[in-house]
Amino acid sequence: MAVWALTPLDLTDANWEASSHHGPVVVRAPNEQEARAVAAQAFDVKTGFRPGQGVLFPPWTRAALVRAERVADPRFATEGPAEVLEPSL
């Protein structure tokens, strides 16, 4: 599997209210889409609907809010299940 670094791009976006984590994430996954899904599963949170404010969408699957890059870092094993490697859960 590959190791992916997911980096928040715009923390001022209101959609970050729908995430319990706002920092960089390292994920082991077979592809970018799965890496984003793993991060979303770990950090997405339900938010209340505020009339007139629009609907909030969790940010981890959105390329405009999170950059995803494949990385080669010996600290992170490529063997194993798809999971968040950093931060520790």
| Residue 75 belongs to domain spanning | 2-86
Task: Quick: pLDDT tens for 54-80.
Answer: 667 889 999 999 999 999 999 999 999
Going from the C-alpha of 64 to that of each of 8, 49, 76, 80, the distances in angstroms are: 9, 22, 26, 29
Residue found by looking up tokens 């009339």 in the block? 51
Q: How many domains does the chain have?
A: 1
Residue 76: its pLDDT value, please? Answer: 96
Number of Cβ within a 10 Å radius of residue 39: 25
pLDDT in tens, 21-51: 999 999 999 999 999 999 999 999 987 666 6
pLDDT at 88: 83
